[in-house]
Amino acid sequence: MTTAARLRFGLSYLFRTPPDDASGHSAVYRAKLEQIALAEALGIDDIWVGEHHFVDDGWLPSPLTAAAAIAAVTNRVGIGTNALLPALHHPIRLAEDAAVVDNISGGRLLLGVALGYRAREFEAFGVPHRERAGRLEEAITIMRRCWTESAFSHTGRHFAFEDVRCTPTPVQRPIPIWIGAAEAPAALRRAATMGDGWLSGGAPRPEARARYLDLLGELGRDAGHPPIAASSKPYIFVTRNPERDWAELRPLAIRQTRTAQRWFAEAGQALPGGMSIEQLTDLLFLVDTPENVAAAIVASYRQGAYTHHIHTPNILGLPVERSAESVALFATEVVPAVRARLAADASEEVR
């Protein structure tokens, strides 16, 4: 049975601003919060925010602060972090901040977490890079206890404290924790064992999705329709004139890809398959008509069903008002088209 009826559509906001943008971060924050309110009004289901530090373009370093601001300008959308990096923070502080956001939003927080990989971030926060997996796992345990127990003590490898009582309690007890995981066996097992959902970071390969479902089954967890977040393309710009707009946007997209490539190179990871920057850019960005974007999402879904589709609508350097046009086309034309095609697929399955 397909999960098409449960498919949710989310937008990711990183609040990046080119260093040479005279308008500054404050204006961009206001404009993107306005765009988020518009997205909710148009029917988008979820808004997601990420975390990185020490980036020239101001990549959002404080996802829960931004999540609180989003909660204040919206009423319905889920508000997720994709992804917060617990290894860089104290878990009690994270649990308290998350509980506050959950209360402000009326129980709409989806706490997505990940290992992190940029050595510079770990060095600056005084956290050994080799400890990131252990710190992530211990933080998840502590946060859940903060949200569900009246008082508790903890003695672990990285944290120890006595008789802690975290207030306020969140609306959701506990707040759902999504785990960002690549397709490596250890990462998939962590997501299956400790997560309430899997942030796949892309369109998961069928074999990786099958392995994740197998792990859930082995653990006695729901392997029928588990929460999985995916993306047909990480960056999507919907337009009536893709040739014109891609000619304008491709240099901006290549600049973004170069930043990602540099970060991965610093982490000792090469471009996939020896790709050039230009080839990787074409793989990550989709600038196309509503019809073709809908077709791309349907194709990715048919390779392996997921429950949440996430993409970033803003390309660094593009005025926010231009991306608002793309968001409107995505919400009013792409989403209905995808749902109609997947509903037709479901009808075929029933027959």
Where b means 16+ CB within 10 Å and e means fewer, 272-281 reads: eeeeeeeebb
**pLDDT greater than 50 at residue 2:** no
> What sign for the dihedral angle of Cα 101, 190, 313, 252?
positive
Q: Which is more confident, 268 or 252?
A: 252
Assign 240 a pLDDT band (cuts: 50, 70, 90).
Answer: very high
Q: Is 139 left (phi over 0), alpha (psi -120 to 50) or beta?
A: alpha
Q: What is the pLDDT of residues 101-129, one digit of tens each?
A: 999 999 999 999 999 999 999 999 999 99
Element (H, E) at 36: helix 24-41
**pLDDT greater than 90 at residue 24:** no
**What would the mean pLDDT of 38-59 be, rounded to a whole number?**
97
Distance between CA atoms of 8 and 47, rounded to whole angstroms? 11
Judge contact between 24 and 91, C-beta under 8 A. Answer: no
The full set of domain ranges for the chain reads 4-245+286-350
Q: Tell me what the pLDDT averaged over the chain comes to.
A: 94
Distance between CA atoms of 259 and 264, rounded to whole angstroms? 9
Where b means 16+ CB within 10 Å and e means fewer, 212-238 reads: bbebbeeeeeeeeebbbbbbbbbbbbb
**pLDDT greater than 50 at residue 161:** yes
The reported pLDDT for the residue numbered 202 is: 86
Q: What is the DSSP letter of 287?
A: E
The reported pLDDT for the residue numbered 4 is: 57
Residue with tokens 């949440």: 308
**What would the mean pLDDT of 280-291 be, rounded to a whole number?**
96
The reported pLDDT for the residue numbered 203 is: 86
Q: Give the closest residue to 313 by CA, choosing from 293, 336, 292.
A: 293
Assign 273 a pLDDT band (cuts: 50, 70, 90).
Answer: low
Assign 263 a pLDDT band (cuts: 50, 70, 90).
Answer: confident
**What would the mean pLDDT of 9-38 be, rounded to a whole number?**
92
Judge contact between 180 and 115, C-beta under 8 A. Answer: yes
Q: How many CB atoms lie within 10 A of CB 152?
A: 15
- For 181, residues 6+ apart whose C-beta sits below 8 A from its C-beta are 114, 187, 188, 190, 191, 195, 198, 199, 200, 201
The pTM is what?
0.95
Cα 146–chain centre separation:
24
Q: Give the closest residue to 95 by CA, choosing from 167, 2, 191.
A: 167
**pLDDT greater than 70 at residue 32:** yes
**pLDDT greater than 80 at residue 145:** yes
Q: What is the pLDDT of residues 53-101, one digit of tens each?
A: 999 999 999 999 999 999 999 999 999 999 999 999 999 999 999 999 9
Q: Which SS3 state, helix, strand or coil, does residue 310 take?
A: strand
Architecture field, domain 4-245+286-350: Alpha-Beta Barrel (3.20)
| 189, HSE (Cβ side, Cα atoms, 13 Å) | 5
Q: Could you give the dihedral angle defined by the CA atoms of residues 68, 72, 78 and 84, in that order, rounded to the nearest 10 degrees?
A: -10
CA dist 293 → 25, 239, 289, 313, 326 (Å): 30, 10, 6, 12, 11
Q: What is the pLDDT of residues 165-189, one digit of tens each?
A: 999 999 999 999 999 998 899 999 9
**pLDDT greater than 90 at residue 269:** no
